A and B are shown apart, each in its own frame.
Chain A
Amino acid sequence: MPEATRNVTSQVSDELEEGIPVMQHILDNPFILLFLGVVVPTVLYVIWGVMEIIGIPIAK
């Protein structure tokens, strides 16, 4: 019985999934967002910052 209900609902929602814009797909996927939210600050802030610190020359 639960199987049957499930198939019906999934059919309905598969129909609903059609025609959704790419941007909404991205916003609806927490794992893409998690990836972006970790990578962007890691690159812009941490990696870039650490590179600059490593590059500081030694005093003469």
Chain B
Amino acid sequence: MAVNRMFRTCPMTGLRVHQPAEALIKANAVAAVVSLLVGGVLALLVTLTRWPAVHLLPADWYYLVLTAHGINMLIFWIIFFEIAVLYFASSTLLGCRLAAPRLAWFAFLLMVLGALINNYAVFRGDSSVMFTSYAPMGAHPTFYLGLIVFAVGALIACFVFFGTLIVGKEERTYIGSVPLVTFGAITAAIIAVFTIASGAIILIPTFLWSVGLVDHIDSLMYRTVWWAFGHSSQQINVSAHVAIWYAIAAILFGAKPMSEKVSRFAFLMYILFLQIAAAHHLLVDPGLTSNWKILNTSYALYLAVVASMVHGLTVPGSIEVAQRAKGYTKGLFEWLRKAPWGNPVFSGMFMSLLGFGFLGGISGVILGTEQLNIIMHNTIYVPGHFHATVVLGTTLAFMAVTYFVIPAIFRREVSFPKMAQWQPYVFTLGMTMVCLFMMGAGTLGVPRRHWDITFAGNPLGFEFPGMAFLMMGLMGIGGVLAVVGGAMYLLVTVHSVFLGKKIQTPGFAQVRVVEGAAPAPAQPVSAALQAHGGVGAWSAPGTFALAMVFLTAFVLYYFINWNYLSTVWPLR
């Protein structure tokens, strides 16, 4: 079989794009956007049901739609997009051919098939078991089968990614270390392998149980192993969107990472410790000791949190350094004020960084504190937290990078530029409201995954305070706004990709890349030792000031929650 070695050069970035990789990136991105469309329609229905004044769906439909919303968003939209990111970060950034494109197509087909089978199971109506599908509550066998088929596809795609890294190294399309963004993608792929392996360990027996071949699934064992899949799958996102932040900073500003060592070491902390925070979900479960809970929930002494705080500093820090070099040096924040806020690639990325850090990060650490979890577990605070990480953090970062991918990979102009410009703001505003008001309502005890918090007609019903209903209403308004923002994204994206104006540039060229066509050799060791990576001195004071604001908010909110905990009934 002849290996396709045809590349084109990208006139925007100078990157060499392998044709089969390009086709696969497109296919995975399209599948992702279709999942987002399905998940988005479902999101509207969920929001309108939990908005107390609207309360749209009947109970059975609400639970069905919530299950489908969770899986389509948390698994299908995000993992399809991540596979596209992996192919881009390996083949395109290394300028090498994609290993085994046919296998990658097979993986893609498995993933599509898995997504279809799983959605079929949910929409049959007998598998409204939520994203978590906690045994011994059972779903139709096709529910688990769909997830397993999808996971096998995703695993194959991860190995195509690792194979591509080998190809690049063997064929010497680059010299030295891989780019930082590729390193972030490696982190994501490693976490993905662990995630999928854990998923297999628990979902395969559960599938066998659903068809009657296994007698019993232990609920505690299920929850423990399932979360190694369920929580880690969201850690893939964290690594992927951090890699995208670095990529966007590099593409838009020519920003250099402040120091390679620090950023890569931070990614190493993700590789080692990010996954163990799956223990966040088991802090009020019986039988597991506090030793296990504390070590795992703290990501081993919060080393992975330190890593996130480092990325949160170095990404804007590198932008600040680049902006200051361009002459935006007035005061602490001229570099930020004069940033391209009208470019959705930048605005989306920067708001993703702020939303992930301030809302998602802080709330996540607090939820994941052993004792504080008692006053938050399974309240709507939890979805408040993960909408901040997964939606404001990951989805918004993916949306931002889409506005770069459309011209760079799909070779189309972005349609409706005005709408594209506004889209990140509308989406962020809506989603921030959703997150904040969910967290507020959760603090008042409102449960998640609950159809009727009024307990209408129940003689033992409980009346939540009026403030809780007000918050749920405001969440509903925010949710609708976020859906509008999501619809704007889908409209711009779909229109651009299928009907957008084709970009024809004189720089466009098909090239044949042969082995050994590496860029100019890097400097030898001796030269490198003398050169300083950093700009030296106190290079990014504005970013440091922002970091201090972040830390203050973090410390205050952390102790406010301890104070709240100290007022509840003593427990031992």
Q: Which residues of A come within 8 Å of B, CB atoms?
A: 2, 5-6, 9-10, 12-13, 15-16, 18-20, 24, 27-28, 30-31, 33-34, 36-38, 40-42, 44-46, 48-50, 52-53, 56
Q: A9 and B518: CB pair below 8 A?
A: yes
Bound state CA distance, A34 and B268, in angstroms? 11
Among B162, B516, B522, the residue within 8 A (CB) of A30 is: B162
How far apart are A9's CB and chain B's nearest CB, in angstroms? Answer: 6
- A12 cross-chain contacts in B, Cβ below 8 A: 521
Q: B521 and A13: CB pair below 8 A?
A: yes
Q: A6 and B190: CB pair below 8 A?
A: no
Q: A37 and B194: CB pair below 8 A?
A: yes
Q: A40 and B514: CB pair below 8 A?
A: no
- B521 cross-chain contacts in A, Cβ below 8 A: 9, 12-13, 16
Number of interface residues of B (CB under 8 A): 52
How far apart are A58's CB and chain B's nearest CB, in angstroms? Answer: 12
How far apart are A26's CB and chain B's nearest CB, in angstroms? Answer: 8
Ranked 5 nearest A-B pairs via Cβ: A37-B190, A41-B275, A37-B271, A19-B525, A45-B276
B273 within 8 A of A: yes
30 sampled A-B residue pairs with Cβ under 8 A:
A2-B514, A2-B515, A9-B172, A9-B175, A12-B521, A16-B522, A16-B524, A28-B177, A30-B165, A33-B190, A33-B268, A33-B271, A36-B271, A37-B271, A38-B190, A38-B194, A40-B273, A41-B194, A41-B232, A41-B276, A41-B278, A44-B300, A46-B228, A48-B292, A49-B288, A50-B225, A52-B289, A53-B218, A53-B221, A53-B224
How far apart are A25's CB and chain B's nearest CB, in angstroms? Answer: 10
B279 within 8 A of A: yes
Given known A-B contacts A34-B193, A38-B197, A45-B228, A16 and B176 have beta carbons under 8 A apart: yes
Given known A-B contacts A37-B194, A46-B228, A53-B224, A20 and B525 have beta carbons under 8 A apart: yes
Q: A50 and B224: CB pair below 8 A?
A: yes
Residue of B nearest to A51 (CB): B292
Q: B193 and A45: CB pair below 8 A?
A: no
B220 within 8 A of A: yes
How far apart are B316's CB and chain A's nearest CB, in angstroms? Answer: 23
- A5 cross-chain contacts in B, Cβ below 8 A: 516
B 243-279 to A, binary, CB cutoff 8 A, 1 in contact else 0: 0000000000000000000001100100111011011
Residue of B nearest to A56 (CB): B287
Bound state CA distance, A38 and B162, in angstroms? 15
- A50 cross-chain contacts in B, Cβ below 8 A: 221, 224-225
Interface of chain A, helix or strand or loop or mixed?
helix
Given known A-B contacts A44-B300, A46-B198, A38 and B193 have beta carbons under 8 A apart: yes
Bound state CA distance, A43 and B265, in angstroms? 21
Residue of B nearest to A55 (CB): B287
- B286 cross-chain contacts in A, Cβ below 8 A: 56
- A49 cross-chain contacts in B, Cβ below 8 A: 224-225, 279, 282, 288, 292, 296
Q: B525 and A2: CB pair below 8 A?
A: no
Q: B224 and A27: CB pair below 8 A?
A: no
Q: B276 and A37: CB pair below 8 A?
A: no
Given known A-B contacts A30-B165, A45-B278, A46-B225, A40 and B516 have beta carbons under 8 A apart: no
- A20 cross-chain contacts in B, Cβ below 8 A: 525
Q: A13 and B175: CB pair below 8 A?
A: yes
Bound state CA distance, A32 and B449, in angstroms? 41
- B271 cross-chain contacts in A, Cβ below 8 A: 33, 36-37
Q: B292 and A16: CB pair below 8 A?
A: no
- B198 cross-chain contacts in A, Cβ below 8 A: 46
B23 within 8 A of A: no
New A-B pairs, 9, CB < 8 Å, besides A9-B521, A45-B228: A16-B175, A27-B264, A28-B178, A34-B162, A37-B187, A44-B276, A45-B279, A49-B296, A50-B224
Bound state CA distance, A6 and B524, in angstroms? 18
How far apart are A44's CB and chain B's nearest CB, in angstroms? Answer: 5
Bound state CA distance, A30 and B279, in angstroms? 26
Q: A45 and B264: CB pair below 8 A?
A: no
Bound state CA distance, A15 and B525, in angstroms? 8
Given known A-B contacts A18-B525, A50-B224, A13 and B514 have beta carbons under 8 A apart: no
